[in-house]
Structure 1
Amino acid sequence: MPKPLLPILDDCTPVARAVMPDGEAAELARMFKAVGDPVRLKLLSMIASDPRGEACVCDLTDAFTLTGPTISHHLKVLRDAGLITSRRRASWVYYRAVPETMERLSAVLAPLPAVAA
């Protein structure tokens, strides 16, 4: 499986626990920006929730009224952000979500534990 273009760090700085270093903030902002578009968020959801563990581009395009090149652009943005990987099989491209990247985005937004009163 190809590696995401952005490195996945073992640690991240949850925003509720410490001030995030500039480099980490810039890297994470690119990832959040990638999912900040409704089409890309839906594409990621379709890919990540596919019961086969991957989704063919042929299955993704029918869910939108967008052209093939536009869907390809959105998939490239997700791939460049490290959220998905792709593999060509014959004439089709199959996409998989990168769980480590999605976990990292979740972890950075983790709230502080509730304090008992």
Structure 2
Amino acid sequence: GDTCTIVKKITDEDIQNFCKISGDTNPIHIKNDSGNAVVHGAFLNGLVSGVIGTKLPGPGTLVVSQNLNFPNKCFSGESVRITVNLIENRKIIKVEFACEVEERKKVVLYGDARLVLNK
């Protein structure tokens, strides 16, 4: 099936804004002397949602279910490659996705989703 890939560098400002929007101010998401902030898993999932809703399958797509796995941490300052693969394009659309940190070649999110077109 079709594939779409984008790359996004995640900044401290991105994480700070997400802390404000989500209310998740867990200290691991705040940059400190011991290292960079850990990116929220929900932020990474939002990047996947952005690809699904604007590129593949695209506008009008609604997520009805998702399976998410976070095998490694992602940190501020890293670039993430978000890839969405279209597996099945029927009444229920199936996609698989992954986010990989380019600098470390580590997958930080992978999963699958079931989607429908909003009519």
- Classify the TM-score, shorter chain: under 0.3
- Higher fraction of strand: 2
Taking structure 1 as the reference length, what is the TM-score of the superposition?
0.26
Q: Name the structure where helix makes up a greater proportion of residues.
A: 1
